[in-house]
Amino acid sequence: MSNPRADRVRDVAKLAGRPARLKTGRFVAEGPQAVREALLSHRANVQSGGTGVVLEVFATQSCLERLPELSDLAADVSLRLATDEVIGAMATTISPQGIVAVCRIQDYDLDEVLASGARLIAVLCEVRDPGNAGTILRAADSAGADAVVLTSSSVDIHNPKAVRSTAGSLFHLPVVTGVEFDFLMSAFRAHGLTVLAADGYGNVDLDRLQDESAIRCLAPAHTGSDDDGPAAASGAAPGASQPRLENSTAWLFGNEAQGLSDAQLADADYRVAVPVYGRAESLNVGTAATVCLYASARAQNR
């Protein structure tokens, strides 16, 4: 393909906009890392009898010569050679890396995800920045979370910037989108998950929870807490029952500017603060999410 103004090129370029993604159920992954992970997921799905993720790939000759494994991975999808100008017209980055893939948006059902025995879930509540959303999804993947959920008012995770920020993790775990918060909480309760709200003003200290989890691991006879499930009220005062990080958990992460709303905090079983030992006022939501998810992952994998 050599004409950057061809209709097919324009159709791919339109997927940078939400209306086209909603209409077609497709999105674009750009760059070798994202496309590689998309193709690996595609192959795994097809081999297990599922539906493939990747619909077509466009790449420059120089990209395929530099990264020949991409040609091998794309053996069972439509792979078309394109000029740098065509890739530039399809991509949204200033300096495209020579390859884009048109992918199918995968729909996941929340109840099915929970019924599969999910033990660690990251929830994005009104997270609007695509970079932060992608960072949290990547952190959830790295921590071995079972799923990521975005509430109905959060950013579109298939936004090109969000897709790039996930560094391919978008293709590694179920991502449930457009869920109403009240329905989400009911589903968590029904499946016995403890709901922890990441809150800088929370009265449960994350470091203390990690210490207690380690004590229970090293000395099983020491319980450290009589509480195995959700508390009746939001939050926990010092000395009161504490959540167990090793239990099945859903973490709530709030909007970049306002954090979690009062109603969302009230619906959580506990409000957990990441201690700040330096002079920073607070942590970026992506950083806080990484710390919280790894704390749970560490406890669950001991």
* Residue 30, strand partner residues: 100
Residue 291: half-sphere exposure toward Cβ, Cα within 13 Å = 20
Tell me the mean pLDDT in the region 222-239.
44
Q: What are the Cα distances from residue 115, in Å, to 24, 109, 193?
A: 29, 10, 11
Question: Which band of pLDDT confidence, cut at 50, 70 and 90, is reported for residue 240?
Answer: low
> Against a cut of 0.75, is the pTM above it?
yes
Flag whether pLDDT at 239 surpasses 60. Answer: no
- Buried b vs exposed e over 254-271: b needs ≥16 C-beta within 10 Å? bbbeebbeeebbebbbbb
Q: In the sheet that 270-273 helps form, which strands lie side by side, from edge to edge?
A: 175-179, 147-151, 120-124, 249-253, 194-198, 270-273, 204-205
Average pLDDT over all residues of the chain: 91
Q: What is the pLDDT of residues 212-224, one digit of tens each?
A: 999 988 876 555 4
With contact defined as beta carbons under 8 Å apart, do 230 and 268 qualify?
A: no
**Whole-angstrom distance, CA of residue 39 vs CA of residue 297:** 27
Q: What is the per-residue pLDDT for 163?
A: 96
Q: What is the pLDDT of residues 24-38, one digit of tens each?
A: 999 999 999 999 999
Q: What is the per-residue pLDDT for 25?
A: 97
Q: What is the per-residue pLDDT for 97?
A: 93
Residue 158: half-sphere exposure toward Cβ, Cα within 13 Å = 26
Q: What is the per-residue pLDDT for 98?
A: 95
Q: What is the per-residue pLDDT for 241?
A: 78
Number of helices and strands in the chain (H, E):
13, 11
Q: What is the per-residue pLDDT for 257?
A: 86
DSSP category for residue 80: E
Residue with tokens 């009589």, as numbered in its chain? 226
- Buried b vs exposed e over 174-192: b needs ≥16 C-beta within 10 Å? bbbbebebeebbebbeebe
Q: Who has greater pLDDT, 281 or 57?
A: 57
Q: What is the per-residue pLDDT for 221?
A: 54
With contact defined as beta carbons under 8 Å apart, do 282 and 226 qualify?
A: no
